[in-house]
Amino acid sequence: MQCLLCRIPTEKYLYKNGYWIYRCPRCHLGETNLKKDYSQFVKEFYSQGYYEGDPTRSAYASYEADKPLIVRNMHKFLSVIRAKKSTGKLLDVGCAFGYFVELALSKGYDAYGFDASHFAAGEAGALVGKSRIKEGTVQSVSYPKNSFDIITLFDVFEHLQDPLADMKKLAGFLKKDGVILIATGDTRSIAAKVFQRRWTFYIPPQHIFFFHRKNVRELLKAAGLRPRSWFRVGKWLSLGYVLHLARTTGESPFARFLYQVIKDTPFARFPLYVPMKDNMVIEVSKM
Ligand SMILES: [Zn+2]
């Protein structure tokens, strides 16, 4: 394994879910050793169970049932976008079931999305229309050059195969004065430091890259992009989702028990505001 940015050998950092996360001794960029072909992995891993509480997936308890909370979190991002671009063509990378595309359409944007998951892309197509959704990875999809005003990556950056090559390609789809909004985890946040290996962002194999401000800035620069502003957000999550994360990535036996007790009850949908702020939201423009 070698660092995507520094091109020097990385070191074993943390072992979890049967995978090693390596870390660069210079810039501290973390990378999961996936041990298999990315496109094959994507096909197998982002199945229906990923969105519906598969205990081996450490992903969503129920993406569909949590839609109201997911959309509530998305409103914050939309307000940031509206302050920059009140109209235009928008591309949501890793659009899952298309909730952000739907929200953007309702506010008058000409919105599109793609997702690597066959299952999710199918759901998104059913929601907003097949002509707006593609199935594929950043490297496999294509759109006209300089055609989008806004490109968004919400909780997607850490799943990318090669964020440097992928951001270069996405930058090609973006108009000269376009805006990219990225939300990802921050390995130098307080939560990451406190929870260490139990930090919810450390979930190999789906999370492949682990950034902080300094190295993500370096990566963006190498892709011809420049961060314009940074902020952190708290998130609304359902109790079921929090317990699902705690039982999987948190490795908590108590959460495992409690999740089983409440998962089919209305308590599973109980909304919790989680002010962890272990993320970084980055507004990016072309250089
Ligand atoms: Zn490095």
**CA 209 – ligand 1 centroid, Å:** 12
**CA 29 – ligand 1 centroid, Å:** 6
**CA 9 – ligand 1 centroid, Å:** 9
> In the chain, what are the domain boundaries?
48-286
**CA 171 – ligand 1 centroid, Å:** 22
**CA 108 – ligand 1 centroid, Å:** 41
Residue in 268, 244, 282, 267 with CA at minimum distance from that of residue 49: 244
Residue 110 host element (H or E): strand 110-115
**CA 219 – ligand 1 centroid, Å:** 10
**CA 25 – ligand 1 centroid, Å:** 7
**How far apart (Å, rounded) are the C-alpha atoms in residues 276 and 91?**
27
**CA 220 – ligand 1 centroid, Å:** 14
**CA 216 – ligand 1 centroid, Å:** 11
What pLDDT, on the 0 to 100 scale, is given for residue 127? 98
**CA 122 – ligand 1 centroid, Å:** 37
**CA 26 – ligand 1 centroid, Å:** 5
**CA 23 – ligand 1 centroid, Å:** 8
**CA 10 – ligand 1 centroid, Å:** 8
What pLDDT, on the 0 to 100 scale, is given for residue 236? 86
**CA 235 – ligand 1 centroid, Å:** 30
Report DSSP letters for 193-256, one per residue. Answer: HHHGGG-TT--TTT--EE--HHHHHHHHHHTTEEEEEEE---EEEEHHHHHHHHHHTT--HHHH
What pLDDT, on the 0 to 100 scale, is given for residue 273? 87
Question: Both tokens of residue 217?
Answer: 């800035």
**CA 162 – ligand 1 centroid, Å:** 14
**CA 2 – ligand 1 centroid, Å:** 8
Q: What is the pLDDT along the chain (287 residues), one digit of tens a residue?
A: 999 999 999 999 999 999 999 999 999 999 999 998 998 999 899 999 999 988 777 788 888 989 999 999 999 999 999 999 999 999 999 999 999 999 999 999 999 999 999 999 999 999 999 999 999 999 999 999 999 999 999 999 999 999 999 999 999 999 999 999 999 999 999 999 998 988 889 999 999 999 999 999 999 999 999 999 999 988 888 889 888 888 887 778 889 899 989 988 988 888 888 888 899 999 999 99
What pLDDT, on the 0 to 100 scale, is given for residue 237? 86
**Amino acid present at 87:** T
Taking residue 23's Cβ as centre, other Cβ atoms within 10 Å add up to 19
**CA 211 – ligand 1 centroid, Å:** 10
**CA 95 – ligand 1 centroid, Å:** 29
Specify the fold of 48-286: Rossmann fold (3.40.50)
* Residues 94 and 156 sit within 8 Å (Cβ to Cβ): yes
What pLDDT, on the 0 to 100 scale, is given for residue 67? 94
